[in-house]
Amino acid sequence: MLRANNIRKSFGDTQVLRDVSVNISRGEVVAIIGRSGSGKSTLLRCLNHLETIDSGSILIGGQAMVTTVDGHAQYASEKALRGLCLKMGMVFQDYNLFPHYSVLKNLVMPQRMVLGRSRQEAEQYAMELLAKVGLSDKAAQYPCNLSGGQQQRVAIARALAMDPEILCFDEPTSALDPQLTAEVLAVIRQLAVEKRTMIVVTHEMNFARDVADRVIYMAGGEVVEDGPAKDVLGSERSEAIRAFAGEASY
Amino acid sequence: MQYFNNPQALLRLITAMQDGFANTLIIFFATLVFSIPLGMVVALLRMNRRRIISAPISLYILVMRGTPLMLQIFAVYFAVPMLLGVNFDRLYATILAFSLNYAAYFAEIFRGGMLSIPVGQHEASQVLGLTRAQTFFHIVLPQVLKRVLLPVSNEVITLVKDTSLANVIAVSELFRAAKNEASRTASIEPLFVAGLFYLIMNGVVTLVFGYLNRKLSYYKE
C-alpha cells in the first residue's frame, strides 16, 4: 500500500530523518511514537508531501511519488503528486479547518472542487460523515463556534470525504484536554474497527497499545523498533520503550 | 463672512464647486478600481521566491512609498510624455500616478495579510488536493480580505484627501475649485466648504467600511 525506503531529510545541518524505511499494508493501523524531535511528525509530513525528502523513495499504491536518482530525490510531476496525495488523507494537530466556511462547506467544497462531485452528492456524503463523527447538528456552524474536539472530528470527516486510501494523523489530540481527547480517539478507534488503513503519530501510549496493529518507535531520526503493538508495547517491552514511557528502570 | 451667513451665496459656491467635486470623485473611484487589483498583483510578485522578480518589485515599492506623491504626479504628467512622446490628459496622468502610488501601499497591506494566514491553511488545502489557484482564490483571499479591511480603510480615507494633490498639475478638482473661488472673492471660506466636502466623503467611506466589517464578521478566527 505504502512503501517508503531509505528516507533522508535534513533541515539545514540537522539530520531529522536518517535512512528511515516504513511499509504500510492495506487495513493496517500503525502508530508512530517517540519523543519530540525524534522525526516522527517529519516522516508523516514527508509521506504527505508537506516536506520534501533529500533522498530515498516513496511509493503509494505502487506508484512513485519520489525516487532517488544519483543520490538526489526526484519528485513526480505536480499533477501526479496531487493525484498521489489524494490517496493520503491528513488530520493535523491544530485541525486547520477553513474558518470562513461552515462545517458543511468545509466538507463539501473540496469534494466539489477536487473530485468534481455534484453539490447534492457532496452534501449527502458530508452529512453521512458528520453523523459518523457525531456532529450532524453542527453542519451549519462555523469552526470558531466548536470545541477543539469537535473541530478535530470535523477535520477527520473532511479528510474522509476525499475517500483516502490511507488516513494520517499528526498528533491529533495534542491540543486537547483529556475529555476532548477521548471523544476524538473514539472516532479513530471506530475507523480502526472498520479496517481503515491509518498512520497515527501520537503520544497516547494506551491508545497506541489498544488500537494499533503495529507500533513504530522512533528516536534520533531512526526507526528503533517496528513490530506488532503487543510486542513493542507489551510486557516484553524494551528498556528504550520503558524509558520513553517514563517508567523507572529496574 | 460672505458665505456661511448667506445661504444663497453658499448655494452658488457649491454649484461652482460641482465640477471640481465630480473630478475628485473620478480620481477617487478610478484610483481604487485600478490600484486594488494592481496592488494584489504587486503583492504576489513581491512574494515570488525568485529574486529576479521580487527585487525590482521591492524597488518599485520603495520608490512609490519613498517619494512624494506630488512629485510622482509631476513625473507622470511631464516626464513620461518627454520620454515616450505621448501626451497625457491631466486627469488621466493624475489617475495613473495615483494608481501606481496606491498600488504600492495596498500591495504591502495585502502582503502582510497573506503572510498572516497560518501555514496550516495552505497545508490543509494541499492535502485535500486543491490547486494553488483554488487555494488562493477560495481559501487565502477571502480570509485576507477580512484581515486587511482596517488598514485598507485607512488608505482609502487618505486617498480621499490626497485627491487634492491633483491641483498641482491644474486638474480642476474640488480643492482647486475652492481655491479659485477663494481668490476670486478674497475669502478663505470656500476652503472650509471644501474641507466639509472631504469630511462628508470620508463619513460615507467610514460607513461603507463599517458595513463591510459587519458583513465579514460572520466568522471569527
pLDDT tens track for B8-42: 888 888 888 888 999 999 999 999 999 999 999 99
The answer as to whether B209 is a domain residue is yes
Residue A112: per-residue pLDDT:
96
Cα(A152)–Cα(A96) distance, integer angstroms? 9
Cα(B173)–Cα(B25) distance, integer angstroms? 9
Give tens-digit pLDDT for B143-197. Answer: 999 999 999 999 999 999 999 999 999 899 999 999 998 998 888 989 999 999 9
On the question of pLDDT at A52 being above 60, the answer is yes
Look up cell 525516487; give the residue: A67
Look up cell 476524538; give the residue: A184
Task: Please give the share of chain A, as a percent, with pLDDT higher than 90.
Answer: 73
Domain count within chain A: 1
The answer as to whether B156 is a domain residue is yes
Beta partners for residue A170, in sequence order: A201
Give the pLDDT band (50/70/90) at residue A206: confident
The answer as to whether B31 is a domain residue is yes
Question: What is the value of ipTM here, to two decimals?
Answer: 0.92
| CATH code of residue B67 | 1.10.3720.10
Q: Are B139 and B130 in contact (CB under 8 A)?
A: yes
The answer as to whether A84 is a domain residue is no
On the question of pLDDT at B221 being above 80, the answer is no
Residue A232: per-residue pLDDT:
86
Q: Are B201 and B22 in contact (CB under 8 A)?
A: no
Average pLDDT rounded to a whole number, residues B209-219: 93
B interface with A, Cβ–Cβ below 8 Å: 118, 120-121, 123-124, 126-131, 134, 138-139, 142-143, 146, 218-221
Q: Nearest-CA neighbor of A125 among A161, A78, A79, A88? A: A161
Q: Are A168 and A162 in contact (CB under 8 A)?
A: no
The answer as to whether A102 is a domain residue is yes
Alpha helix (H) residue ranges in A58-196: 78-86, 103-115, 119-132, 148-161, 178-193
The answer as to whether A130 is a domain residue is yes
Test A50 with B123 for CB contact under 8 angstroms. Answer: yes
Domain count within chain B: 1
- Which one of A44, A60, A98 would you mutate to disrupt binding with B, by most B Cβ within 10 Å of its Cβ? A98
Give the pLDDT band (50/70/90) at residue B1: low
- Which one of B116, B119, B127 would you mutate to disrupt binding with A, by most A Cβ within 10 Å of its Cβ? B127
Residue of chain A nearest B123, judged by CA positions: A50
Alpha helix (H) residue ranges in B132-173: 132-134, 141-162
Lowest mean pLDDT of A141-150, A234-243, B129-138, name the range: A234-243
Cα(B23)–Cα(B30) distance, integer angstroms? 10
Domain, as residue range, for A120: 97-163
Highest mean pLDDT among A203-212, B77-86, B130-139: B130-139
Count CB neighbours of A232 within 10 A. 24
Mean pLDDT taken over chain B: 93
Count CB neighbours of B108 within 10 A. 18
